[in-house]
């Protein structure tokens, strides 16, 4: 049963670079930053006053009933938008006789409805016992995005959320891949969504000294692999794909973007938030993905790195890449971080970064790592500094790592 091949037939994205997949990808290719001073709230009290915000987003156009959008946290709104785009672009909704009990959803969030929690808790701070919204709990919980999307389209297949912090999207897509490989579904909508540019998010990550404070130069603040990086920049958005068993996709004439051939997951078992400095945990995830995919390290053309622009994280990932890829690091492997443009979309990051891998295969373009002015010698990889390059890409790998030591890697290949 696990010999079933899995392909990607739809993609949707909402990001600081654009409100659909193609505009997001255009921004990545152009090396355009989506980072600016925060506008959703007054950022003056916080050390970090910049972020990658989604702009000009109208949630109600993505729900069957616009009223339902107002009963959803922003993370759910973003997730439903990306999921609908992926679903529509796959053509699933136009398929006659589709067995919806064989279609499921894992659209997850690393943090969940933080905005809803903040707003409703504020009522209790003002007056103990104050009446809160009856939608507080269902709007706040991290699984409701998948639940709502199944309701929107009547999907009766496996439905859940996977919360692994910033590895959330990759784990969601990877476990959806397993479900299809095992035969429990024919198609899955999978990815992640996040909306944490909020007082609690800024204060919490700020107290950890994890955020950049380059407030006077927002577009240059997210600078993975650069010696002068000073922390990550928060982003928000959603990235979702439709993955499908190959024969099921072929029978309905689906557009096949690429084949999802491997998934690896591991744990650092090291620290609450810091990565293991030797890189062995992420290396195992990458090696597992390549083993599943039946490819050797030298066959991987492009790696979209987790690289968030933190001092410890970027170095640890480079060590992991060197462990997993050996001499190929110096002999052709391209490694870039699109977080330099989107900021770190947390639980949604992997979805948008898998998009970068898919489009790199489609267009033969490797997106750059921008803001690399003085590459850290400890980050000794070809990070495609500042300008995209044209190169045929047949196999690409995407890394996502989360607080708690969660590591997840996805491997995609040109479909032939």
Indicate the CATH number for domain 263-413: 3.40.47.10
- Report residue 403's pLDDT band, with 50, 70 and 90 as the boundaries: very high
Residue 405 φ/ψ region, left for φ over 0, alpha for ψ in the -120 to 50 degree band, beta for the rest: left
Rounded percentage of the chain residues whose pLDDT exceeds 90? 97
Can you give the residue ranges of every domain in the chain? 6-251, 263-413
Q: What global pTM score does this model have? A: 0.97
Distance between CA 375 and CA 337 in Å, rounded?
13
The class that CATH gives domain 6-251 is alpha beta
Question: Which residues lie across from 260 on neighbouring strands?
Answer: 412
Strand pairing class (302-304; 334-336) = parallel
pLDDT at 247 over 90: yes
Do the domains spanning 6-251 and 263-413 agree at the CATH topology level?
yes
Give the residue from 414, 261, 397 showing the smallest Cα distance to 329.
Answer: 397
pLDDT at 226 over 60: yes
Cβ contacts of residue 204 below 8 Å, gap of 6+?
none
Q: To the nearest whole number, what is the mean pLDDT of the chain?
A: 97
Query: In the predicted model, what is the mean pLDDT of residues 27-34?
Result: 98
Reported as a single tens digit per residue, the pLDDT across 166-179 is 999 999 999 999 99
Catalytic residue among 13, 48, 166, 383: 166
The per-residue pLDDT for 3 is: 85
Query: In the predicted model, what is the mean pLDDT of residues 232-244?
Result: 98
Q: Indicate if 13 belongs to the active site.
A: no
- Report residue 156's pLDDT band, with 50, 70 and 90 as the boundaries: very high
Reported as a single tens digit per residue, the pLDDT across 275-329 is 999 999 999 999 999 999 999 999 999 999 999 999 999 999 999 999 999 999 9
> How is residue 216 written in tokens?
């006077």
The per-residue pLDDT for 244 is: 98
> How is residue 2 written in tokens?
């696990």
Query: In the predicted model, what is the mean pLDDT of residues 191-200?
Result: 98
CB atoms within 10 A of CB 220: 17
């Amino acid at each position: 049963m696990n010999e079933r091949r899995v392909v990607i037939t739809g993609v949707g994205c909402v990001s600081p670079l654009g409100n659909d997949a193609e505009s997001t990808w255009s921004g990545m290719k152009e090396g355009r930053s989506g980072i600016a001073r925060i506008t959703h709230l007054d950022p003056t009290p916080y050390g970090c006053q910049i972020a990658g915000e989604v702009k000009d987003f109208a949630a109600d156009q993505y729900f069957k009933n616009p009223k339902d959008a107002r009963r959803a946290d922003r993370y759910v709104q973003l997730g439903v938008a990306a999921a609908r785009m992926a679903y529509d672009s796959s053509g699933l909704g136009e398929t006659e006789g589709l067995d919806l009990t064989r279609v499921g959803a894992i659209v997850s969030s690393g943090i969940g409805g933080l905005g809803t929690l903040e707003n409703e808790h504020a009522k209790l701070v003002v007056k103990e016992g104050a009446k809160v919204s009856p939608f507080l709990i269902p709007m706040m919980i991290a699984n409701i995005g998948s639940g709502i999307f199944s309701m929107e389209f009547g999907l009766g297949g496996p439905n859940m959320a996977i919360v692994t912090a910033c590895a959330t999207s990759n784990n969601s897509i990877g476990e959806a891949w397993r479900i299809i490989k095992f035969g429990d579904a024919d198609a899955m909508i999978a990815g992640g969504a996040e909306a944490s540019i909020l007082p609690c998010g800024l204060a919490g990550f700020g107290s950890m000294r994890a955020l950049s404070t380059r407030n006077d130069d927002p577009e240059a603040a997210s600078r993975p692999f650069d010696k002068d990086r000073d922390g990550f920049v928060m982003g928000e958005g959603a990235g979702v794909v439709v993955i499908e068993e190959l024969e099921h996709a072929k029978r309905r004439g689906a557009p096949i973007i690429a084949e999802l051939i491997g998934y690896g997951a591991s744990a650092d078992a090291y620290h609450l938030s810091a990565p293991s400095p030797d890189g062995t945990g992420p290396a195992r995830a990458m090696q597992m993905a390549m083993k599943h995919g039946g490819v050797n390290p030298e066959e991987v053309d492009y790696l979209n790195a987790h690289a968030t622009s933190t001092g410890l994280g970027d170095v640890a990932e480079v060590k992991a890449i060197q462990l997993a890829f050996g001499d190929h690091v110096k002999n052709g492997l391209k490694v870039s971080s699109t977080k330099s443009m989107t900021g770190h979309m947390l639980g949604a990051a992997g979805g948008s970064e898998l998009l970068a891998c898919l489009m790199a295969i489609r267009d033969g373009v490797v997106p750059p790592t921008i803001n690399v002015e003085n590459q850290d010698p400890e980050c000794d990889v070809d990070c495609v500094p500042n300008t995209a390059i044209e190169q045929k890409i047949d196999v690409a790998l995407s890394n996502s790592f989360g607080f708690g030591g969660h590591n997840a890697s996805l491997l995609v290949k040109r479909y032939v």
